[in-house]
Structure 1
Amino acid sequence: MPTFAEKIIIIKMTSDPKQKPAEKENLHPRNSHRAGYDFKLLCKGSPELKKFVSVNQYNDQSIDFSDPNAVKALNKALLKHYYGVDHWDIPEGYLCPPIPGRADYIHYVADLLSEINNGTIPRGNKINVLDIGMGANCVYPLIGAAVYDWRFVGTDIDPVAIRTAKDIVSLNQGFQDKIILRLQSNKANIFKGIIKQGEGFDITICNPPFHASLQEAQASTAAKWKKLGINKQPTSLNFGGQKTELWCYGGEAGFIRRMVEQSAMVAHQCLWFSTLVSKKDTLPIIYRALKKVNALDVKTISMTHGQKVSRIVAWTFLNQAEQTDWRSKFWPGS
């Protein structure tokens, strides 16, 4: 019988560093953003983006990614052009995440769900996804609902984030019946109080707060700016982010460990659990926690976005027969 460690599957998307591909080959094959940003096309649909676009040192059109307003304008344009989100805005200082990486997460979990569906990605409102810590931006539910027609429940401990996400959903036709928002009133809980009795989710997703303090978050931003050739001390974070979005007690490792422990309490109400993992050093901590709660299968998906390497860790408490039963019960006709 294979050991716990032997059951961990590593999936990597790599490209030859000696070549300069026409596409961003590290992105998932179905990712709409593999061809990069077509600013001419984006500005045509979102004219407000134009004032942030200029020619960079490589003679390419780009924006200043250290400018939060420029990043927000780019996100608005991307969400409108690729995902049909005509109205999107977030309060000042809230997390404005890079869209291509968020889309990758959605595409990879779609692949994961296809494994028990004869290789076919299940689509439509029979698929229910739980987004833990959705944030004010509501990006994962918007992308997943637009691309795969899935239904989402988005949660957060911040009332402002929930109100903002509700405004985004209500202003965009076609999303109202696909995205539900729930406030987590107890900060110590992740699933309790959110997953209702008799309710089931095909997968849970999470982009956890990965810093342990504001100082750590600012240091990380300074390092990113240095790589971009911007030599200044950050007074803000280029992608924004409130305390609950970027840092928490114990940082990424502490949050994910708690999530793993609490996932065992709803082990048979979710087909798969998953989380984004930013730090490689967090992986051994996660694997130990998963072994402790007797997770039956664990998969690690490695992703590369530019100079950033991250991964998705997914786990399930259901054996193969139970997974097949889940498919028959919740995905009839798929």
Structure 2
Amino acid sequence: MKKPQRRPGKPTSSPVTPAGLHPRNLHQGRYKLAELTKTTPELKPFLTINPRGEDTIDFSNEQAVLCLNKALLAHFYQVTHWQIPAGYLCPPIPGRADYIHYLADLLATSHHSNEPKPPTGSVIKVLDIGTGANCIYPIIGTQSYGWQFTASDIDPVSVKTARVIVSTNTCLQNRINVQQQPDSRRIFRGIIKEQDRFDATLCNPPFHASMAEANAGSERKWKNLNRDKKRDTASPTLNFGGQKAELWCEGGEIRFLKQMIVESAEFAKQVCWFTSLVSKGDNIQPLKRQLKARCAKQIQVIKMAQGQKISRVLAWSFLTKEEQVQWVSNR
């Protein structure tokens, strides 16, 4: 099965980041665009004034969104060199950061038996499945908590681009190891070696089952962003980005995650927590049934509220809490 890396997404269609973000998320409230232009002056030409007299940008403009992301990464994460190829996915940073912070809370339950707190430092090893050209989860994870990342992808362009991002930012060097997945039909096999131990894995899987379905999703997002505009705008394909391998896979999200569960059982003693985003709530129950059939000892569903959007992280472990504490101490 071919491993698509990322589903389409963009920052919120207003200058206000979604309500309900994790308390440690740095992107609370409105985007402080005036401050961001000081860090990244090239953002300034994209600023416009909304009807309330507030600074904003055109979130249907691909270049404006790309520049906003560059500014956010420079301002909050000290990543000053970040560029992705044309047509590749430009992720919404506040939502991506939420996943990292909720993952930190999850790791706290297995790393501190008496006083739960997010574990920090390079002793924490995390595997990002499908890191994409943007390498966004490893960037946020290393800069927020000092974790060590392995970032995998099947797409050679994504791998090359992510490696350039790491090599050109001193703060990321020696913290992120980008690996090419040698077998497009596999997820963990070929990446997790016999000697590897990971505190967690994370993934933002594709949720479309076909390119037609992916295009329909992009069209809906495009119409939402441009609902107040009378003039015609460019094609949504350009601005919502994402390569074929990033947007969809045969069987969609449910098939991909079922394969992930099957493969995860093979590495039960090498990973403390397996996790993945699940976009469709209806997929949770069949996935939980499969996890129970595979003898997962812990299963959690972590809800993340971002404005009106509800997303969820499915987490599972083949270790009991007591075994996890022992796993951490013996690492």
Per the normalisation by structure 1, the TM-score is 0.89
Is structure 2 residue 68 aligned with structure 1 residue 67? no
Whether contact under 8 Å (1:124, 1:149) holds in the other structure is: yes
Identity %: 51
Distance 1:226 1:239, change over 3 A: closer
Is structure 2 residue 93 aligned with structure 1 residue 92? no
Is structure 2 residue 100 aligned with structure 1 residue 106? yes
Aligned to 2:239, the other structure's residue is in SS state coil
Is structure 2 residue 121 aligned with structure 1 residue 124? yes
Matched positions, count: 309
Aligned AA (1:48): E
Whether contact under 8 Å (1:97, 1:239) holds in the other structure is: no
Structure 2 CA distance for aligned equivalents of residues 26 and 239 of structure 1: 24
Structure 2 CA distance for aligned equivalents of residues 188 and 78 of structure 1: 34
Structure 2 CA distance for aligned equivalents of residues 282 and 178 of structure 1: 34
CA deviations 1:126-164 (Å, max 9, x no partner) are: 000000000000000001000100000000000110000
What is the aligned counterpart of 1:31 among 25, 29, 32? 25
Whether contact under 8 Å (1:128, 1:151) holds in the other structure is: yes
1:298 maps to 299
Is structure 2 residue 188 aligned with structure 1 residue 191? yes
Structure 2 CA distance for aligned equivalents of residues 286 and 68 of structure 1: 35
Whether contact under 8 Å (2:222, 2:236) holds in the other structure is: no
Aligned to 1:289, the other structure's residue is in SS state helix
The Cα shift of 1:38 comes to: 0.4
What is the aligned counterpart of 2:73 among 72, 79, 90? 79
Structure 1 CA distance for aligned equivalents of residues 53 and 312 of structure 2: 32
Whether contact under 8 Å (1:221, 1:234) holds in the other structure is: no
User: Greater CA deviation, 155-164 or 209-218?
Assistant: 209-218
Aligned to 2:133, the other structure's residue is in SS state coil
Structure 2 CA distance for aligned equivalents of residues 239 and 28 of structure 1: 25
The Cα shift of 1:24 comes to: 4.9
Structure 1 CA distance for aligned equivalents of residues 22 and 107 of structure 2: 15
1:137 maps to 134
Aligned to 1:236, the other structure's residue is in SS state helix
Pairing 1:214-293 to 2, within 5 Å after superposition: 214-230=211-227, 234-236=235-237, 238-293=239-294
The Cα shift of 1:214 comes to: 1.8
Which structure is richer in relative contact order (CA contacts within 8 A, separation 6 or more)?
2
Aligned AA (1:302): K
Distance 1:154 1:220, change over 3 A: same
Query: What do you get for the CA RMSD once the two structures are aligned?
Result: 1.6
Structure 2 CA distance for aligned equivalents of residues 285 and 219 of structure 1: 25
Is structure 2 residue 182 aligned with structure 1 residue 182? no
Whether contact under 8 Å (2:19, 2:306) holds in the other structure is: no
Distance 1:291 1:71, change over 3 A: same
CA deviations 1:226-259 (Å, max 9, x no partner) are: 3334376844153411111111111111111110
User: Greater CA deviation, 124-133 or 61-70?
Assistant: 61-70
Aligned AA (1:236): T
Structure 2 CA distance for aligned equivalents of residues 306 and 243 of structure 1: 29
2:161 maps to 164
Aligned AA (2:36): L
Gaps of 5+ in 1: 1-21
Aligned to 1:238, the other structure's residue is in SS state helix
Structure 2 CA distance for aligned equivalents of residues 29 and 76 of structure 1: 23
Distance 1:35 1:296, change over 3 A: same
Structure 2 CA distance for aligned equivalents of residues 158 and 150 of structure 1: 24
User: Greater CA deviation, 165-174 or 56-65?
Assistant: 56-65
The Cα shift of 1:66 comes to: 1.6
User: Greater CA deviation, 40-49 or 232-241?
Assistant: 232-241
CA deviations 1:142-188 (Å, max 9, x no partner) are: 01000100000000000110000000000000211100011011111
Whether contact under 8 Å (1:131, 1:205) holds in the other structure is: yes
Aligned to 2:149, the other structure's residue is in SS state strand
Structure 1 CA distance for aligned equivalents of residues 46 and 296 of structure 2: 47
